[in-house]
Amino acid sequence: MSIAENIEKIQCGVMKAALKVGRDPETIKIIAVTKYTGVEQINEAIRAGVKEIAENRVQDALVKFPLLNGSVTKHLIGTLQTNKVKPAVREFDLIHSVDRMELVEALEKEASKRNCQVKCLIQLNISGETTKHGIGPEDLKTILDKINSYTNITPMGLMTIAPFTDDPEQVRPIFRCLKNLFSEFALTRDDNWRYLSMGMSHDYQVAVEEGANMVRIGTAIFKD
Protein backbone atom coordinates (compact mmCIF):
# COMPACT_ATOMS: atom_id res chain seq x y z
CA MET A 1 0.00 0.00 0.00
CA SER A 2 1.11 3.56 -0.58
CA ILE A 3 1.89 6.00 2.19
CA ALA A 4 -1.26 7.96 1.32
CA GLU A 5 -3.37 4.79 1.61
CA ASN A 6 -1.73 3.90 4.91
CA ILE A 7 -2.48 7.34 6.28
CA GLU A 8 -6.08 7.04 5.20
CA LYS A 9 -6.31 3.70 6.96
CA ILE A 10 -4.99 5.19 10.21
CA GLN A 11 -7.41 8.15 9.93
CA CYS A 12 -10.22 5.62 9.58
CA GLY A 13 -8.97 3.62 12.55
CA VAL A 14 -8.77 6.73 14.71
CA MET A 15 -12.25 7.77 13.65
CA LYS A 16 -13.72 4.37 14.44
CA ALA A 17 -12.09 4.20 17.86
CA ALA A 18 -13.15 7.76 18.70
CA LEU A 19 -16.76 7.25 17.64
CA LYS A 20 -16.93 3.98 19.54
CA VAL A 21 -16.45 5.91 22.79
CA GLY A 22 -18.30 9.07 21.73
CA ARG A 23 -15.26 11.28 21.14
CA ASP A 24 -14.80 13.82 18.35
CA PRO A 25 -12.16 12.36 15.96
CA GLU A 26 -11.09 15.89 15.03
CA THR A 27 -9.60 16.37 18.48
CA ILE A 28 -7.06 13.60 17.95
CA LYS A 29 -3.74 14.39 16.30
CA ILE A 30 -2.08 11.72 14.20
CA ILE A 31 1.68 12.16 14.44
CA ALA A 32 3.68 10.43 11.70
CA VAL A 33 6.81 8.95 13.25
CA THR A 34 9.49 9.39 10.64
CA LYS A 35 12.46 7.84 12.44
CA TYR A 36 12.68 4.84 10.11
CA THR A 37 12.31 6.76 6.94
CA GLY A 38 14.03 9.16 4.54
CA VAL A 39 13.21 12.63 3.36
CA GLU A 40 11.48 11.53 0.18
CA GLN A 41 8.95 9.41 2.04
CA ILE A 42 8.39 12.08 4.65
CA ASN A 43 7.63 14.58 1.90
CA GLU A 44 5.26 12.06 0.35
CA ALA A 45 3.45 11.84 3.68
CA ILE A 46 3.29 15.65 3.88
CA ARG A 47 1.77 15.75 0.39
CA ALA A 48 -0.78 13.20 1.59
CA GLY A 49 -1.84 15.58 4.33
CA VAL A 50 0.36 14.81 7.32
CA LYS A 51 0.65 17.89 9.55
CA GLU A 52 2.63 16.50 12.46
CA ILE A 53 5.86 14.52 12.37
CA ALA A 54 8.07 12.99 15.05
CA GLU A 55 11.70 12.01 15.21
CA ASN A 56 13.38 10.24 18.09
CA ARG A 57 16.91 11.53 17.58
CA VAL A 58 17.97 15.16 17.41
CA GLN A 59 20.84 14.39 15.03
CA ASP A 60 18.43 12.81 12.49
CA ALA A 61 16.17 15.85 12.69
CA LEU A 62 19.08 18.14 11.91
CA VAL A 63 19.68 16.24 8.67
CA LYS A 64 16.06 15.79 7.57
CA PHE A 65 14.20 18.93 8.66
CA PRO A 66 15.93 21.37 6.29
CA LEU A 67 14.88 19.15 3.36
CA LEU A 68 11.17 18.96 4.12
CA ASN A 69 8.62 20.63 1.86
CA GLY A 70 5.81 22.37 3.62
CA SER A 71 5.29 23.34 7.21
CA VAL A 72 4.67 20.65 9.79
CA THR A 73 4.64 20.58 13.56
CA LYS A 74 7.72 18.75 14.84
CA HIS A 75 7.76 16.43 17.82
CA LEU A 76 10.70 14.90 19.65
CA ILE A 77 9.74 11.50 21.05
CA GLY A 78 13.11 9.92 21.89
CA THR A 79 15.29 10.27 24.95
CA LEU A 80 17.00 13.64 25.00
CA GLN A 81 20.61 13.88 26.17
CA THR A 82 21.36 17.13 27.96
CA ASN A 83 24.17 17.90 25.51
CA LYS A 84 21.56 18.02 22.69
CA VAL A 85 19.16 20.36 24.44
CA LYS A 86 20.23 23.38 22.43
CA PRO A 87 19.38 22.00 18.95
CA ALA A 88 16.32 20.23 20.39
CA VAL A 89 14.85 23.50 21.67
CA ARG A 90 15.60 25.15 18.35
CA GLU A 91 14.23 22.41 16.06
CA PHE A 92 11.21 20.96 17.82
CA ASP A 93 7.78 22.35 18.65
CA LEU A 94 6.99 19.82 21.38
CA ILE A 95 9.27 17.53 23.38
CA HIS A 96 7.40 14.39 24.53
CA SER A 97 10.27 12.81 26.42
CA VAL A 98 10.95 14.89 29.52
CA ASP A 99 11.91 12.17 31.97
CA ARG A 100 14.28 13.56 34.58
CA MET A 101 15.04 16.62 36.68
CA GLU A 102 18.43 17.17 35.09
CA LEU A 103 16.76 17.52 31.69
CA VAL A 104 14.16 19.94 33.07
CA GLU A 105 16.99 22.12 34.38
CA ALA A 106 18.87 22.02 31.08
CA LEU A 107 15.72 22.88 29.10
CA GLU A 108 14.92 25.81 31.38
CA LYS A 109 18.44 27.13 31.04
CA GLU A 110 18.42 26.93 27.24
CA ALA A 111 14.91 28.38 26.88
CA SER A 112 15.72 31.24 29.17
CA LYS A 113 18.86 31.98 27.11
CA ARG A 114 16.77 32.03 23.95
CA ASN A 115 13.97 33.86 25.69
CA CYS A 116 11.41 31.31 24.52
CA GLN A 117 8.97 28.81 26.00
CA VAL A 118 9.81 25.11 25.69
CA LYS A 119 6.64 23.07 25.32
CA CYS A 120 6.90 19.59 26.71
CA LEU A 121 5.17 16.45 27.88
CA ILE A 122 6.30 14.38 30.84
CA GLN A 123 7.13 10.81 29.89
CA LEU A 124 5.78 8.24 32.32
CA ASN A 125 6.85 4.66 32.73
CA ILE A 126 3.63 3.08 33.94
CA SER A 127 4.49 -0.57 33.50
CA GLY A 128 7.76 -0.30 35.42
CA GLU A 129 9.68 -1.99 32.59
CA THR A 130 13.33 -1.22 33.24
CA THR A 131 14.08 -0.98 29.52
CA LYS A 132 11.75 1.99 29.15
CA HIS A 133 12.49 5.59 29.98
CA GLY A 134 10.09 7.74 31.90
CA ILE A 135 9.40 8.63 35.49
CA GLY A 136 7.25 6.58 37.82
CA PRO A 137 3.79 8.00 38.64
CA GLU A 138 4.96 8.66 42.21
CA ASP A 139 7.48 11.23 40.93
CA LEU A 140 5.11 13.21 38.70
CA LYS A 141 4.17 15.77 41.33
CA THR A 142 7.80 16.49 42.19
CA ILE A 143 8.79 17.11 38.59
CA LEU A 144 5.74 19.31 37.89
CA ASP A 145 6.41 21.33 41.06
CA LYS A 146 9.95 21.88 39.84
CA ILE A 147 8.73 22.99 36.41
CA ASN A 148 6.23 25.32 38.09
CA SER A 149 9.10 27.10 39.78
CA TYR A 150 10.56 27.88 36.35
CA THR A 151 9.39 30.44 33.83
CA ASN A 152 10.44 29.08 30.43
CA ILE A 153 8.98 25.55 30.37
CA THR A 154 5.34 24.88 29.58
CA PRO A 155 4.21 21.35 30.52
CA MET A 156 1.33 20.40 28.22
CA GLY A 157 0.54 16.86 29.28
CA LEU A 158 1.75 13.30 29.50
CA MET A 159 3.29 10.65 27.27
CA THR A 160 3.89 6.94 27.66
CA ILE A 161 5.16 4.01 25.63
CA ALA A 162 3.26 0.83 26.44
CA PRO A 163 5.07 -2.51 26.39
CA PHE A 164 4.76 -4.34 23.09
CA THR A 165 2.19 -7.13 23.20
CA ASP A 166 0.49 -9.21 20.52
CA ASP A 167 -2.85 -8.32 22.02
CA PRO A 168 -3.25 -4.54 22.49
CA GLU A 169 -6.09 -5.18 24.96
CA GLN A 170 -3.39 -6.12 27.47
CA VAL A 171 -2.06 -2.56 27.57
CA ARG A 172 -5.46 -0.92 28.05
CA PRO A 173 -4.87 -0.59 31.83
CA ILE A 174 -1.65 1.32 31.14
CA PHE A 175 -3.44 3.83 28.92
CA ARG A 176 -6.23 4.13 31.45
CA CYS A 177 -3.71 4.80 34.20
CA LEU A 178 -2.03 7.57 32.17
CA LYS A 179 -5.39 9.17 31.43
CA ASN A 180 -6.28 9.10 35.13
CA LEU A 181 -3.00 10.76 36.07
CA PHE A 182 -3.58 13.33 33.33
CA SER A 183 -7.03 14.17 34.70
CA GLU A 184 -5.87 14.21 38.30
CA PHE A 185 -3.15 16.78 37.54
CA ALA A 186 -5.42 18.81 35.27
CA LEU A 187 -7.07 20.11 38.45
CA THR A 188 -3.90 21.93 39.39
CA ARG A 189 -2.90 23.11 35.90
CA ASP A 190 -3.92 25.72 33.33
CA ASP A 191 -5.28 25.52 29.76
CA ASN A 192 -1.90 24.48 28.38
CA TRP A 193 -2.40 21.09 30.04
CA ARG A 194 -4.11 19.30 27.16
CA TYR A 195 -2.11 16.54 25.48
CA LEU A 196 -2.19 12.86 26.18
CA SER A 197 0.34 11.21 23.88
CA MET A 198 -0.16 7.44 23.82
CA GLY A 199 -0.69 4.72 21.25
CA MET A 200 1.51 3.47 18.41
CA SER A 201 0.92 1.43 15.24
CA HIS A 202 -0.28 -1.74 16.96
CA ASP A 203 -2.25 -0.25 19.85
CA TYR A 204 -3.44 3.23 18.84
CA GLN A 205 -7.12 2.29 18.68
CA VAL A 206 -7.12 1.11 22.28
CA ALA A 207 -5.23 4.30 23.22
CA VAL A 208 -7.85 6.48 21.51
CA GLU A 209 -10.63 4.59 23.29
CA GLU A 210 -8.85 5.40 26.55
CA GLY A 211 -8.49 9.11 25.81
CA ALA A 212 -5.32 9.67 23.75
CA ASN A 213 -5.36 12.89 21.74
CA MET A 214 -1.95 12.33 20.17
CA VAL A 215 -1.12 8.97 18.59
CA ARG A 216 2.40 8.30 17.28
CA ILE A 217 2.37 6.11 14.20
CA GLY A 218 5.50 4.93 12.38
CA THR A 219 5.39 1.38 11.01
CA ALA A 220 1.76 1.45 9.92
CA ILE A 221 2.42 4.51 7.74
CA PHE A 222 5.89 3.89 6.39
CA LYS A 223 6.48 0.15 6.50
CA ASP A 224 3.18 -1.61 5.84
Ligand X SMILES: *Cc1c(COP(=O)(O)O)cnc(C)c1O
- Tell me if 23 contacts ligand X by CB under 6 A: no
Whole-number minimum distance, CB 22 to ligand X, in Å?
A: 25
Half-sphere exposure at residue 193, Cβ-oriented, CA atoms within 13 angstroms: 15
CA 108 vs CA 89, 153, 185: distances in Å: 10, 6, 21
Q: Residue 3 corresponds to which amino acid? A: I
- DSSP string over 10-58: HHHHHHHHHHHTT--GGG-EEEEE-TTS-HHHHHHHHHTT--EEEES-H
Stretch that binds ligand X, among 112-120, 136-144, 150-158, 211-219 (CB under 6 A): 211-219
- From the list 45-53, 125-133, 172-180, 212-220, the region that binds ligand X by CB under 6 A is 212-220
**At a CB cut-off of 8 Å and minimum separation 6, what does 182 contact?**
157, 158, 193, 196, 211
Using rule CB under 6 A, residue 6 touches ligand X? no
Contact between 37 and ligand X by CB under 6 A: the answer reads no
Judged by CB under 6 A, which of 35, 146, 176, 194 binds ligand X?
Answer: 35
Q: Does 56 bind ligand X (CB under 6 A)?
A: yes
How far apart are the C-alpha atoms of 125 and 133, rounded to whole Å? 6
Q: Is residue 81 a contact residue for ligand X (CB under 6 A)?
A: no
Nearest-angstrom CA–CA distance, 46 and 120? 23
Which of 67, 167, 219, 224 is the binder for ligand X (CB under 6 A)? Answer: 219
Nearer to ligand X, 181 or 198 (CB): 198
- Contact between 217 and ligand X per CB under 6 A: yes
Shortest Cβ 71–ligand X spacing (Å) = 22
Binder among 6, 34, 37, 201 for ligand X (CB under 6 A): 201
**Could you say which residues in the range 111-150 bind ligand X, by CB under 6 A?**
none
Q: How many chain residues touch ligand X (CB under 6 A)?
A: 13
Please list the alpha-helical segments (H only) found in 71-210. Answer: 85-91, 101-114, 140-148, 172-186, 204-209
- Footprint on this chain of ligand X (rule: CB under 6 A): 33, 35, 56, 77-78, 161, 200-201, 216-220
